[in-house]
Structure 1
Amino acid sequence: MQTDFRAGVVAVIGRPNVGKSSLLNRILKYKLSIVSAKPQTTRDNILGLYNGASSQILFVDTPGIHAPLNKLGERLVERAVSGLEDANVILYVVTIDDRPEQRENARIAEVLREHSDVPVVMAVNKVDLPGSKNKILPVIDRFTKKIKLRDVVPVSAKDGTNTEVLVKTLESLLPVAAPLYPDDMITDRTERFIAQELIREKVIAFTDEEVPHSVAVEIEEFKSPDEYPERRDLFVRATVYVEREGQRAIILGRKGEKIKTIGTAARKALEEMTGHKTYLELWVKVDKGWRDSEKELKRLGYE
């Protein structure tokens, strides 16, 4: 191994809906985290491995930091903050229209002050938007007056602008070390977990208002030809939980048309991920108040 190889953890932090997951997916060239225009999509700290010629970066995608309205929200913020504990570098993602005075960004500033020994690189996302060039320097100026930053890189998760520059910047701040994982590994998450997230992504994509925030997905059965050689296809049985009967009706749709559309989109995503022809069985159930129930949060994996 070369003597100047670098390896370490980069925790990705930011308020909801700034494009953290999209940026990470762009860098990894792999759909590790689900994305949506709706905020608070990411609910877990998800490890994604970038394997370069001279570095291995362990990216940790975290939930967006926000003002929680229920126990689920509290868990998500706790997870985001916990993702910084082992970080060698913090990647703070904002957009060209962000301000440090925004409530979520003010909270993030407090968190960063609590981790003042960790270098912070700020990525200013969405520079592909019309009129963004005139906004880049002002947003950098606003944040550098409030937060101690090691470097700032304007980027676009959508078209890839400056993502290679961002990677090089992060690499330079990592310690000289041997790789921590095999170089053919992309994440420590199982296909079962990613399948669960892909299904939730499709539910979010085809619903509006309060429904996306009230949805949880549980994989009841996951049988892959990789584990069951006698099988020729992937079988997935999953339950979509919501909090109210009205939400269940929205997801089912008239004569079951909406859930059929969701199922078709999810099945195609699963086939693309696994390479296996997939049979997907979806059920929709009401679990009243699950977002504020300690028992249900634990059962659904949000401890």
Structure 2
Amino acid sequence: MEVNKSFKSGFVAIIGRPNVGKSTLMNRMIGQKVAIMSDKPQTTRHKIHSVLTRDHAQVVFLDTPGVHKPKHKLGQHMVDTALSTLKEVDLILFMVEANTPSGAGDQYIMNELSKIATPIFLIINKVDLISKNQLLPLIAEFQTKLDFKEIIPVSALQGDNVDRLADLIIRYLPEGPKYYPDDMITDKPEQFIMAELIREKVLHLTSQEIPHSVAVVIEDIQPRPNNTVYVGSLIYVERDSQKGIIIGKKGQMLKQIGQLAREDIEKLLGSKIYLELRVKVRDDWRNKEAFLKSFGYKEV
């Protein structure tokens, strides 16, 4: 037993285009769902701190919104949030997809990364979707584009090579303090995670018209008898037609969203909940600073 081994700690940003698997990787590293996952691009809107603690190290991951060309103030906030993390961390994980050709989005991020001195790992995700013969040329291609300290192929969904990645991250971190208690896995309050779990179900169940126009706010949490918790939430959309889609015929879509969200929230809280969902229209909220701030998006 290495009782004299120094403690290492630091902050690690995960950056990449939308939908490359950043949240999946972070959840896999932590061993628990902290960030929501969806096959819809631009799912993550906030910078989420998640904590991996080992005997001699603590890694604080910052999962960032996907970098994309913004079409509204919310989109600009998301891109600004992602790029701002580059100045705050000890290590950067730049994630790309093995099964998608590198394009303008990846090049834009690499141009931003070339301006900083922070060590950068290239994480090639979804390697389970390509053959080994395709992987080596892909690694060779990226080696010519930026000075990556490490290039690690992984499958975040399957967990392939994720433990090795964690070991490499810790190796590069400086000596430092323990920032969070051992049992803490995120700096976000339970209300935030509950709202995100509800939004995840909306993204999963509804059509392409809905995803980016949805915000969820937890209005009320109250203890009830028999170890039950009441959770009241509001789902905001931008148009009446979107409200109709989320409610569904005879309320069936809203009921399904509630059933799936309740299961995840009960796992989070460790108790039974009564989940009330309501839907409200706030016209063009993604372009209104007052609404963005009230929904938890700070300066835009």
**Interval containing the TM-score (normalised by the shorter chain):** over 0.9
Q: Mapping of 1:1-303 within 5 angstroms? A: 2-100=4-102, 102-115=103-116, 117-129=117-129, 131-224=130-223, 232-303=227-298
Q: CA deviation at 1:86?
A: 1.4
The whole-number CA distance in structure 2 between the counterparts of 1:148 and 1:276 is 48
Q: Does the 8 A contact of 1:98 with 1:139 survive in 2? A: no
Asked if structure 2 preserves the Cα contact closer than 8 Å seen for 1:124 and 1:136, the reply is: no
- Name the stretch that deviates more: 22-31 or 177-186: 177-186
CA distance in 2, matches of 1:132, 1:42: 29
Q: Is the 8 A contact 1:12 1:90 kept in 2?
A: yes
> Which runs of 5 or more structure 1 residues have no equivalent in the other structure?
none
SS of corresponding position for 2:25:
helix
User: Percent sequence identity over matched residues?
Assistant: 44
Specify every segment of 5 or more residues in structure 2 that has no aligned partner in the other structure, as ranges.
Answer: none
CA distance 1:85–1:233, change in 2 (3 Å) = same
What displacement does 1:143 show?
Answer: 1.6
| CA-based RMSD | 1.4
Amino acid at match of 1:63: P
Contact kept in structure 2, 1:119 and 1:150, CA below 8 Å: yes
**8 Å contact 1:128–1:158 — kept in the other structure?**
no
1:24-46: CA deviation from partner (whole Å, max 9, x where unpaired): 11111010100001110001110
Q: What is the one-letter code of the residue matched to 2:236?
A: Y
Aligned-partner SS, 1:83: helix
**Cα distance in 1 between the residues matched to 2:217 and 2:23:** 21
Deviation at 1:258, TM superposition (A): 0.4
The answer to whether the 8 Å contact 1:70/1:292 transfers is yes
- Measured after TM superposition, the shift of residue 185 of structure 1 is 1.2
Give the drift of 1:209. Answer: 1.0
Aligned-partner Cα distance in 2 for 1:192–1:56: 25
Aligned equivalents of 2:222, 2:161: Cα separation in 1: 40
